[in-house]
């Protein structure tokens, strides 16, 4: 694999406490030509956990930009963010996109905004969360701000078995991604976890669709996932 895509950093608070440069050095050892960081994006006011704080965003971009320069003859360093689509923050995505400092925004829909302004993590029953997640992903793709759809099949993580509704929802997602020319991410970390990676989803993806492989690494050691792939 030439590009190690979808890499997190210690800033998200649930990754290993390892320096960004260690990821780059390991990527070089593994023979990669590019490493793309997409840490969990902050939101203004820091309303959510498990991500960098808003105050860290400048440092994140500056540190990686400096490393990109230092390693330019050895490996490419991509600088991006993984982020959920939440309609209340529409202006923020625009601001991130127009800042010109990020190479890529990837849509990783781990939760979604409810009609009353709350968020899906507050729902008592998350049994049907795939509908809200899919809806948010589709709306997000239609904004044009996002360049890759991260782990689309992970929305079914609460299901034990594949059913017809999942097929329908998957096709809705795949069709919008194809219309918008947004690559779907086959996520290597999902493959290691129960019910996050669904071969039934990928069987529905036509050959004409663009697919990227992402590691979703939260530690330097996890870069070695590429050796198994
Ligand atoms: Zn994470
Ligand atoms: Zn991720």
Domain count, the chain: 1
Ligand 2 geometric centre to CA of 175 (Å)? 23
Ligand 2 geometric centre to CA of 223 (Å)? 13
Q: Which ligand is nearest to the CA of 82?
A: 2
Ligand 1 geometric centre to CA of 74 (Å)? 27
Q: How many CB atoms lie within 10 A of CB 154?
A: 23
Q: Which ligand is nearest to the CA of 51?
A: 1
Q: Which ligand is nearest to the CA of 9?
A: 1
Question: Please, which contacts does 221-224 make with residues 24 or more away whose CB atoms are closer than 8 Å?
Answer: 221/16, 222/189, 223/4, 223/7, 223/23, 223/26, 223/27, 223/30, 224/30
Assign residue 44 the CATH number of its domain.
3.20.20.140
25/47 Cα distance (integer angstroms): 34
- The DSSP secondary-structure symbol of 160 reads S
Task: Decide the pairing of beta strands 211-214 and 184-187.
Answer: parallel
Longest dimension (CA), the chain: 52
Residue 79 CB contacts under 8 Å (≥ 6 apart), including other chains: 36, 37, 61, 64, 65, 68, 101, 102, 103, 104
pLDDT of residue 1: 84
Exposed, middle or buried, 67 (CB in 10 Å: 0-12/13-18/19+)?
Answer: buried
pTM of the model: 0.97
Residues in the chain, how many?
229
Q: Provide the domain limits for residue 218.
A: 3-228
Q: Which ligand is nearest to the CA of 12?
A: 1
Residue 85 CB contacts under 8 Å (≥ 6 apart), including other chains: 93, 107, 109, 112, 136, 137, 139, 140, 143, 146
Ligand 2 geometric centre to CA of 39 (Å)? 7
Ligand 1 geometric centre to CA of 83 (Å)? 11
Q: What is the pLDDT along the chain (229 residues), one digit of tens a residue?
A: 899 999 999 999 999 999 999 999 999 999 999 999 999 999 999 999 999 999 999 999 999 999 999 999 999 999 999 999 999 999 999 999 999 999 999 999 999 999 999 999 999 998 889 999 999 999 999 999 999 999 999 999 999 999 999 999 999 999 999 999 999 999 999 999 999 999 999 999 999 999 999 999 999 999 999 999 8
| Sheet-wide strand order for 184-187 | 3-7, 34-40, 76-83, 104-107, 148-149, 184-187, 211-214
Q: How many CB atoms lie within 10 A of CB 2?
A: 10
pLDDT of residue 127: 85
Half-sphere exposure of 139 (CA within 13 A, CB side): 16
CA angle 69, 71, 72 (to 5 degrees): 65
């Amino acid at each position: 694999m030439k590009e190690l895509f979808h890499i997190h950093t210690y800033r998200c608070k649930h990754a290993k406490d390892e320096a960004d440069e260690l990821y780059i050095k390991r990527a070089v050892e593994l023979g990669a030509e590019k490493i793309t960081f997409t840490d969990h994006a902050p939101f203004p006011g820091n309303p959510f956990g498990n991500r960098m704080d808003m105050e860290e965003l400048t440092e994140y971009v500056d540190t990686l930009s400096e490393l990109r320069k230092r390693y330019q003859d050895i490996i490419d360093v991509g600088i991006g963010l993984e982020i959920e689509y939440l309609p209340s923050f529409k202006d923020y995505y625009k601001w991130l996109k127009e800042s010109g400092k990020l190479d890529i925004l990837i849509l990783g829909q781990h939760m979604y905004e409810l009609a009353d302004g709350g968020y899906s993590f507050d729902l008592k029953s998350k049994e049907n969360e795939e509908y809200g997640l899919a809806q948010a992903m589709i709306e997000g793709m239609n904004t044009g701000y996002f360049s890759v759809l991260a782990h689309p099949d992970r929305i079914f993580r609460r299901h034990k078995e594949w059913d017809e509704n999942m097929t329908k929802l998957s096709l809705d997602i795949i069709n919008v991604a194809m219309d918008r020319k947004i690559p779907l991410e086959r996520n290597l970390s999902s493959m290691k976890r129960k019910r996050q990676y669904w071969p039934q989803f990928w069987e529905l993806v036509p050959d004409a669709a663009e697919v990227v492989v992402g590691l979703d690494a939260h530690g330097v050691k996890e870069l070695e996932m590429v050796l198994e792939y």
